[in-house]
């Protein structure tokens, strides 16, 4: 039996914090509270007053540590998973870029193999497909050659061939999108609105078909527009007004600047916001030249000022954030409490992804996924399913 006892922690649980101890037995939390219960033979971790939080859950990442999930190798998956774990992530959803279906099917296979071999990195919660059913007007870094409308003969095959699919981002204004969202909902896959020129009404139709999440809110989506003189509300306005809609934000402090973070917190509130890295391969690496997308035919980009940019610096080309930085941004730039910031990357994504019975909060019986960090969100320990995978020396 594997026994770990964390003592003197400032434990973040249920939106509050308490000074106490946590005992982990094998893969689950056995005890959490203020009592000093005995745990004979346990490995002791003295948190020395530091924060003990649920492990971070990243619902949207393309890679880290020099590796992109589209590289198509098991090694790339494992490298990215390890780097994210160093920064406190215990569960992530490998995200594909819009590409050919052959590349997509190959990545399902790679995912499956990597999942079996992943012993010391952030675990994989399932795949997130970002595209190819997107608006060409809001393609962002997605390759416009592959954008198209959802057709059942195509997406049913993809769904059938990828049992690990957990989430799919799409543009709701495309022909066939409502049926597509309903199919995802039926299969228990999270349908997420993104890279879209949708009107408010088109978002409403998608929401009613089961799409209750928005992909990197503010990036690559419509807002108020004028069409033939008449003014229409867009995706952003719908995201704000629909209480049941969850908003995912790239909280690196750059993609969504301070004023908009304040607006989001004021209008939407902590409960409906999830923090994601949406990181490309350069996350956790020194700044300088990098490649966006697969190594084989990706795009040259430059990482500087804490973000990836196109070579001509006219646009961002992906985030290089890790989860600890997201929490730090919400505390130090957006002015959140640490408990609220943590909630947005633990409890909220767990609820959105339908896994809150096992992950996203600390209490007895939950998976032993924990992160220990200081007041500047420097990660000291990452524990995944009861195993210490990272320890700061
Ligand atoms: Zn992305």
Q: Are residues 142 and 186 in the same domain?
A: yes
Q: Is 340 a catalytic residue?
A: no
- Percent of the chain past pLDDT 90, that is, above it, reads 91
Contact 70, 103 (CB under 8 A): yes
Taking the CB of residue 203, how many other CB atoms lie within 10 A of it? 28
Dist. CA 95 → ligand 1 center (Å): 7
What's the CA-to-centroid distance between 11 and ligand 1, angstroms? Answer: 31
Domain co-membership, 234 together with 340: yes
Q: What is the CATH number of the domain that holds 27?
A: 2.30.40.10
Rounded CA gap, 318 and 226, in Å?
29
For residue 267, report the distance from its CA to the centre of ligand 1, in Å: 24
Read off the tokens for 241: 């007004």
Using CA atoms, how far apart are residues 307 and 327, in angstroms rounded to an integer?
Answer: 17
CA of 130 to the centre of ligand 1 (A): 6
Residue 141 has pLDDT above 80, yes or no: no
Q: What is the pLDDT of residue 145?
A: 86
What pLDDT score does 60 carry? 98
Whether residues 343 and 310 share a domain: the answer is yes
pLDDT band at 342 (very low <50, low <70, confident <90, very high): very high
Would you state the pLDDT for residue 140? 82
The count of structural domains within the chain is 2
Q: Which of 8, 2, 3, 1 is CA-nearest to residue 380? A: 8
379 in any annotated domain = yes
63 C-alpha to ligand 1 centroid (Å): 10
For residue 366, being part of any structural domain is answered with no
Q: Quick check: is 369 in a domain?
A: no
The answer to whether residue 389 scores a pLDDT higher than 90 is: yes
The strand pairing partners of 276, in sequence order, are: 250
The pLDDT tens digits of the residues spanning 178-201 come to: 999 999 999 999 999 999 999 999
What is the DSSP annotation of 99-138?
--HHHHHHHHHHHHHHHHH-SSSPEE--EEEE-SS--GGG
The pLDDT value given to residue 23: 98
Mean pLDDT, range 139-158, rounded to an integer: 90
Q: Do 34 and 13 belong to one domain? A: yes
| Residues 260 and 175 both lie in one domain | yes
Q: How far is the CA of 280 from the centre of ligand 1 (A)?
A: 8
Burial of 296 (0-12, 13-18, 19+ CB in 10 A): exposed
Calpha distance 67→280 (Å, rounded):
8
Output the pLDDT for position 245.
98
- Asked if 131 and 234 sit in the same domain, the reply is yes
From CA 138, how far away is CA 221, in angstroms rounded? 6
Work out the mean pLDDT of the chain and round it to a whole number: 96
Distance 62 CA to ligand 1 centre (A): 6
Please name which of 376, 262, 277, 279 lies closest in space to residue 328, comparing C-alpha atoms: 376
Query: Structural domain of residue 14, as residue ranges?
Result: 3-52+375-391
Name which of 306, 305, 345 is nearest 327 in CA terms: 345
The pLDDT value given to residue 302: 96
Q: Is pLDDT of 98 > 90? A: no
| pLDDT (tens digit per residue) in 253-264 | 999 999 999 999
Return the pLDDT at 227. 86
Q: Quick check: is 365 in a domain?
A: no
269 and 229, same domain (yes or no) = yes
Q: Could you tell me whether strands 3-13 and 43-46 are parallel, antiparallel, or unpaired per DSSP bridges? A: parallel
Q: Are residues 43 and 102 in the same domain?
A: no
Instruction: Give first-to-last CA distance, the chain, whole Å.
Output: 26
My answer on whether 140 and 157 are in the same domain is: yes
DSSP per residue over 9-48, as a string?
EEEEETTEEEEEEEEEETTEEEEEESS----TTPEEEE-T
- Distance, in Å, from the CA atom of 75 to the CA atom of 66, rounded to the nearest integer, reads 11
Active-site hit among 278, 324, 367, 369: 278
Q: Which two structure tokens, joined as six digits, stand for 258?
A: 């301070």
| Single pTM value for the model | 0.97
In the predicted model, is pLDDT for residue 249 greater than 90?
A: yes
Per-residue pLDDT band for 366 (boundaries 50, 70, 90) equals very high
Question: What CATH number corresponds to the domain at position 102?
Answer: 3.20.20.140
Query: For residues 132 and 148, is the Cβ–Cβ distance under 8 A?
Result: yes
CA distance 34 to 11: 10
Whether 158 is covered by a domain: the verdict is yes
């Amino acid at each position: 039996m594997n026994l770990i006892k964390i003592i003197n922690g400032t434990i973040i649980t249920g939106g509050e914090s308490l000074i106490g101890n946590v005992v982990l037995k094998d893969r689950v939390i056995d005890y959490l509270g203020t009592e000093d219960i005995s745990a004979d033979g346990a490995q002791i971790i003295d948190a020395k007053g530091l924060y003990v939080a649920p492990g971070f859950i990243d619902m949207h990442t393309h890679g880290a540590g020099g590796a992109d999930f589209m590289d198509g190798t098991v090694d790339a998956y494992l490298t990215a998973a390890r780097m994210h774990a160093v920064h406190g992530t215990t569960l992530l959803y490998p995200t594909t870029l819009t590409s050919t279906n052959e590349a997509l099917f190959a990545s399902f296979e790679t995912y499956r193999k990597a999942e079996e071999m992943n012993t010391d990195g952030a675990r994989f919660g399932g795949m997130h497909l970002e595209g190819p059913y997107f608006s060409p007007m809001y393609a962002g870094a997605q390759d416009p050659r592959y954008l198209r409308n959802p057709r059942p003969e195509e997406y049913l095959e993809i769904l059938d061939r990828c049992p690990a699919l957990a989430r799919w981002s799409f543009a709701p204004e495309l022909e066939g999108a409502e049926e597509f969202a309903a199919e995802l909902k039926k299969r228990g896959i999270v349908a997420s609105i993104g890279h879209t020129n949708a009107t408010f009404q088109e978002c409403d139709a998608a929401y009613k078909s089961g799409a209750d999440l928005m992909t990197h809110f503010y990036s690559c989506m419509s807002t108020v527009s004028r069409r033939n003189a008449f003014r229409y509300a867009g995706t952003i306005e719908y995201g704000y007004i629909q209480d049941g809609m969850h908003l995912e934000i790239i909280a690196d402090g750059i993609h969504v600047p301070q004023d908009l973070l304040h607006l989001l917190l004021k209008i939407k509130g902590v409960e409906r916001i999830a923090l994601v890295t949406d990181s490309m391969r350069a996350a956790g690496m020194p700044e300088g030249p990098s490649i966006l997308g697969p190594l084989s035919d990706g795009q040259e980009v430059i990482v500087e000022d804490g973000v990836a940019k196109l070579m001509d610096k006219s646009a961002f080309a992906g985030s290089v954030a890790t989860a600890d930085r997201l929490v730090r941004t919400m505390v130090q730039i957006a002015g959140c409490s640490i408990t609220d910031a943590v909630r947005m990357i633990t409890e909220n994504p767990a609820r959105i992804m339908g896994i809150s019975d096992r992950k996203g909060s600390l209490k007895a019986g939950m998976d032993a996924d924990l992160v220990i960090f200081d007041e500047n969100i420097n990660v000291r320990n990452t524990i995944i399913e009861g195993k210490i995978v990272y320890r700061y020396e």
